[in-house]
Structure 1
């Protein structure tokens, strides 16, 4: 009932902006439990404003399949109203001339004042807003089933060395230490958490944002690959092809002790009726305390020919950043609001810790963009990193030192 009342209140506040009914077709890959619930809220708000919603959902946690379909649609002159695009890809679509200017909505809604600078610079192309952020995710989380750790006689690990010791105890007790899905983007999610722990924020930034060849091929990166490979010893043999939310379910159900995954995983715990601090714990990935690997979910808005649909687009842009929607959406999704002026009283300890760390790291140098989620570099460099890291992780007899040099060469070739 409270949700219905809140949705009605949001709708009333936004109705004045919806002078013409139009259609919004929205491409996204939010199809798991918590994600789908979040999308349904946005759909309901748009329909209550008199616009029609055409769902363009393509399953796949990393969005690779969705991007393939989007490129085909855009080139054929039939793009959706908005598509889930982020990071450097927004700039690439902007350079190609496909995106529409949302500056008038941004001025009316005062986006420059309520959004952090690290977010606004990603949402703009050539100084104009062409995309709208939905949330901020912290990627370097460790999700823990405390009951499994208790049965294993283990404590929550805070360093990589502690993690491996805990994992040995969990394994000896008959549980899976680390839930993981063998998909490239999941491999990189694990890899970047290890990289941040080993390299620290400064060298992480040099390697994956500045593309410093010395750091990419150096001793530190070799150590990253050594520690990353050790993770394989604590993952079950059936990991290949497993979805991220299936891996999260392993932690929820007590089959596995831990998972290193972004805070979208919290939406799965919430959907299963689990309580943070009791049924599960959220702590920094081992060795990354006080650091924040960020992912910003966003929708890029495409140029449309129909006036009614363009007005519906602007309704969608306003609705995404409405305070009440930001609260409902992020409570469902597991992320934190992208607005800095939000009341966080309804958010749990995981979200409060995430927001506090996000704000502190934005000023102390501990805030770094996610490689796995496409925030750190271009899609070309990201693909090169994916190939090298995933091949290493699945190789029978990998060589960490040679792989570090190979990584540098692959990145240089993709630049």
Structure 2
């Protein structure tokens, strides 16, 4: 009996100690918008890693593919004095938050980031010379996803030009297949439009969307862009309005949809459905864009906690974990992206990811490695929002392409 009581007492002591250890762990509140199947699986890797390190992960996921709802929630939290430990942010918003003096620098965790990251991306993670954000992975936007069985059924090949694309779309439609699976949401409309702009060449894209050059924005070539987009729209099904991107991807997975324009996070959905590249689906650079690479980079920024201007141990550990080679690899394998770190081996990745890395390296050298306007990597939210409105209004109306171009040029002047 005495031994039993001693054993019980010892067990209770250990249990209480363990409970205090958990309760005393630094909480990490994390705001993000990764909620689809492949995305949830990817972020769970980070959550598990942080829990194993003794930190208490508090997940704050806000659904919405482009993150608009998440950004609204983030503003509310910061204004109310309840900023999360970390939040998913990208592009100019990193600098915007830094300029408000609410972020902490994470230089202690970034000792080797510069040596192993594309310079163009590494620079965007800094404010006033200090790292304030940790990047997860590189997503390529200008992909075209094709159901392999549908492609074989109609005897088609991945299109490299717009005439080839429309010829294949006609074959799909004749076979009773929705040629282009699409979700009628502003950011998805922008994905298609931006990709067609890119098909006019990296220099045209840079002048139009990076420089916002009025001569380029109002050129006959831009009118052709709008005409091409208008024709693509005729291959959507009637139910496309408001459809989430992953549901459009599901159409391609099932074969009810032949093709989809979408970033490579779509590959995470294919993987989650146990589909394999070149067996069940084909990934190809969108027509006319094989020499270019539009990218978006997910990153976490780190907010001051309890009025302290220094990063907490948990924030530094989170940043360090995000950019560790092992996590970079596993996250991208689930997410469909490729690692930020150029020193991560690609042997475990599929052919689509390997092609993405090859094209990334080639376009970095050639000048075709370009930030995406559609995914928040360019310009202020006011400018990007005005351009998005112009494009979406065009894609959901019978507006004349020349009128669409005029509205685009006016939108580019919004500051």
1:214-271 Cα deviation digits (max 9, x unpaired): 1112211111100011111111010001000000000000101110100000000000
Deviations 1:158-198 (A, max 9, x none): 1111101110111011000010000000000011111111x
Tell whether the 8 Å contact from 1:208 to 1:377 is kept in structure 2 after alignment: no
Contact kept in structure 2, 1:143 and 1:260, CA below 8 Å? yes
Instruction: Identify the residue that residue 12 of structure 1 maps to in structure 2.
Output: none
Counterpart CA distance in 1 for 2:37 and 2:151 is 26
| C-alpha contact 1:21 1:312 (8 A) present in aligned 2 | no
Partner in structure 2 of residue 224 of structure 1: 225
Question: Of the candidates 77, 89, 95, which is equivalent to residue 93 of structure 2?
Answer: 89
**Counterpart contact for 2:109–2:317, Cα < 8 Å:** no
Partner in structure 2 of residue 279 of structure 1: 280
Partners of 1:126 and 1:228 lie apart in 2 by 40
- Answering whether residue 172 of structure 2 is matched by residue 170 of structure 1, we say yes
Deviation sequence 1:264-294 (CA, Å, 0-9, x none): 0000000000111101111101111121011
Q: How does 1:93-172 map to 2 (within 5 A)?
A: 93-107=97-111, 110-172=112-174
Q: Give, in angstroms, the shift of residue 96 of structure 1.
A: 1.1
Cα distance in 1 for partners of 2:230, 2:323 equals: 41
TM-score normalised to structure 2 length: 0.92
**Cα deviation, residue 306, structure 1:** 7.6
Aligned to 2:7: none
Q: CA deviation at 1:381?
A: 1.1
Gaps of 5+ in 2: 1-23
2:28/2:85 contact within 8 Å kept: yes
TM-score if structure 1 supplies the norm length?
A: 0.92
Candidates 332, 337, 354, aligned match of 2:334: 332
Where does 1:12-411 land on structure 2 (aligned, <5 Å)? 21-107=25-111, 110-197=112-199, 199-305=200-306, 310-395=312-397, 397-411=398-412
**CA-to-partner distance for each residue in 1:20-70, whole Å, 9 max, x for gaps?**
831111110000000000111100010011100000100000000000111
Runs of 4+ in 1 over 6 A off after TM superposition: 306-309
Secondary structure in structure 2 of the residue aligned to 1:234: coil
Alpha carbons 1:24, 1:309 under 8 Å: kept: no
1:124 Cα offset (Å): 0.6
CA contact (8 A) 2:106 2:311 kept: no
What secondary structure sits across from 1:137 in the alignment?
A: strand
TM-aligned CA deviation for residue 309 of structure 1 = 7.9
Aligned equivalents of 1:195 and 1:271: distance in 2?
31
**Which stretches in structure 1 are left out of the alignment for 5+ residues?**
1-19
Question: Distance in 2 between the 1:176 and 1:148 partners?
Answer: 10
- SS where residue 273 of structure 1 aligns? coil
Q: Give the match's secondary structure for 1:341.
A: coil
